[in-house]
A and B are shown apart, each in its own frame.
Chain A
Amino acid sequence: MNDKRSRLVSLRNPWFTTSVGATLALFLFSAFVGFIWLPSAQDDALFKGLLNAICGAAGIPRTWLSETNPPVAPKVPLSTVILTPEMLSGPGMRESVGRGATLALRCTMCHGARGVSAANTPNLAGQYSPSIYKELRDFQTGARTSAIMAPMVVGLSDQDLRDLSIYYASLPREPSPGADDASPALGIVATGSPMRNIAPCGSCHGSLANKLGAPWLSPQPRAYLKSQLEAFANGTRHNDVSGQMRNVARHMTQDEINASVDYYAEKR
Chain B
Amino acid sequence: MISNKRLVLAHFWLAFAIFGLAVLLGEWQMFIRSPLHGWIHNPDLYYRSVTAHGTVMGYVFPTLIAMGFGYAIAELSLNQPLIGRRWAWAGYALIIVGSISAVIPVAMGLDSVLYTFYPPMIGNAFYYIGVVLVVVGSWIWVALMGINLHAWKRAHPGAPVPLAMFANVAGAYLWGWTAIGAALELLFQILPVALGLSHTINAGLSRVLFSWTLHAIVYFWLMPAYIAFYTIVPRAIGGRLYSDTMARISFVLFLVFAMPIGIHHLFADPQIGSGFKFVHSVFTAMVSVPTLLTVFTICASVEIAARLRGGKGAFGWLKALPWDNPQMLALTFSFVMLGFGGAGGLINMSYQLDSTIHNTQWVTGHFHLIFGGAIVIMYFAIAYDLWPHLTGRAMQDLRLIRTQLWLWFIGMIVTTFPWHYVGILGMPRRMAYYDYTAPGMSAEGVAVVMSAVGGALLVLSALLFLTILYRNHSANRVEPAPFTFSQAIHEPTSLPLALNGLGLWVGLMIALTITNYGYPILQLIGLHDADVPAVYSGGQQ
Do A34 and B498 touch (CB < 8 A)? no
Task: Name the contact of A191 in the complex, choosing from B433, B440, B501, B503 (C-beta under 8 A).
Answer: B433
Pick the most buried of A190, A203, A209, A210: most chain B CB atoms within 10 A of its CB: A209
Report if A15-B499 is in contact (Cβ < 8 Å); known contacts: A59-B523, A195-B435, A212-B541: yes
Given contacts A16-B498, A128-B541, contact A85 B508 (CB under 8 A): no
Residues of B with C-beta under 8 A to A128: 541
Cβ-based interface call for B417 (8 A): no
Check if A210 sits within 8 Å of B275, measured CB to CB: no
CB distance from A32 to the nearest CB of B (A): 10
Assess A35 versus B539: contact at CB under 8 Å? Given A8-B504, A15-B499, A183-B41.
no
A185 near B41 with CB under 8 A, answer: yes
Tell me whether B504 and A85 are in contact (CB under 8 A): no
Contact: B278 with A194, CB < 8 Å?
A: no
B536 contact set on A, CB distance < 8 A: 85, 212
- Residues of chain A with a CB closer than 8 A to B505's CB: 19
Contacts of A5 in B (CB 8 A): 503
Q: Which residues of the other chain, B, contact A159 by a CB distance below 8 angstroms?
A: none
* B side interface size, CB within 8 A: 52
Contact B520 A59 (CB under 8 A): yes
Residue A156 at the B interface, CB < 8 A?
Answer: no
**Are A85 and B199 in touch, CB under 8 angstroms?**
yes
Q: Are B42 and A4 in contact (CB under 8 A)?
A: no
Instruction: Please determine whether B199 and A209 come into contact, CB atoms closer than 8 angstroms.
Output: no
Q: Spot the interface stretch: A22-30, A111-119, A246-254.
A: A22-30
Known: A8-B498, A27-B279, A83-B533. A193 touches B435 (CB 8 A): yes
Q: Are A182 and B435 in contact (CB under 8 A)?
A: no
Q: In the complex where A27-B279, A191-B41 touch, is A84 in contact with B200 (Cβ < 8 A)?
A: yes
Q: Mark A1-22, 1 if CB is under 8 A from B, else 0.
A: 0001101110001011001100
Q: Mark each residue of chain A from 25 to 50: 1 if its CB lies under 8 Å from any CB of chain B, else 0.
A: 01101110111001100000000000
Asked whether, in the complex, the Cβ of A190 is within 8 Å of the Cβ of B503, the reply is no
A13 to B499, CA, bound (A): 12
A211 within 8 A of B: yes
B346 at the interface (CB under 8 A from A): no
Q: When A59-B271, A208-B42 are in contact, do A16 and B504 touch as well, CB less than 8 Å?
A: yes
**B497 contacts which of A7, A61, A208 (Cβ < 8 Å)?**
A7
Contact A38 to B278, CB < 8 A, known contacts A8-B498, A128-B541, A193-B435: yes
Docked pose: A46 CA to B200 CA in angstroms: 33
Indicate whether B94 reaches chain A with its CB closer than 8 angstroms.
no
Say whether, besides A26-B286, A27-B515, A190-B41, A54 and B275 are in contact (CB < 8 Å): yes
Q: A85 to B534, Cβ gap below 8 A? A: yes
CB under 8 Å from chain B, chain A span 62-118: 83-86
Chain A residue nearest to B436 in the complex (CB): A195
Kindly list chain A residues whose C-beta atoms are within 8 Å of the C-beta of B541: 85, 128, 210, 212
Instruction: Give min CB distance, A184 to chain B, whole Å.
Output: 9
Our pick among A35, A185, A193, A212 for the contact of B533 (Cβ within 8 Å) is A212
Residue of A nearest to B505 (CB): A19
Residues of A within 8 A of B39 (CB): 187, 190-191
Check B527–A209 contact: CB distance below 8 A.
Answer: no
Nearest-neighbour CB distance to chain B for A205, whole angstroms, equals 12
Q: Are A194 and B431 in contact (CB under 8 A)?
A: yes
List A contacts of B41 (CB < 8 A).
Answer: 182-183, 185, 190-191
Closest 5 CB pairs between A and B?
Answer: A59-B273, A57-B275, A34-B278, A15-B498, A30-B282
Jot down 17 A-B pairs with beta carbons below 8 A, ordered by A. A5-B503, A8-B497, A13-B498, A16-B498, A19-B504, A26-B282, A27-B515, A30-B279, A38-B274, A38-B275, A58-B519, A60-B273, A83-B533, A183-B42, A191-B41, A191-B43, A211-B535
Give me the interface of B with A, judged by CB distance under 8 Å.
Answer: 39-44, 199-200, 256, 271-279, 282-283, 286, 431, 433-435, 438, 440-441, 496-499, 501, 503-505, 508, 511-512, 515-516, 519-520, 523, 527, 533-537, 539, 541
Using A128-B541, A212-B533 as known contacts, list a sample of 13 further A-B pairs with CB atoms less than 8 Å apart, ordered by residue number in A.
A9-B504, A13-B496, A33-B278, A35-B275, A38-B278, A56-B274, A59-B275, A59-B523, A86-B199, A191-B43, A203-B43, A208-B44, A212-B541
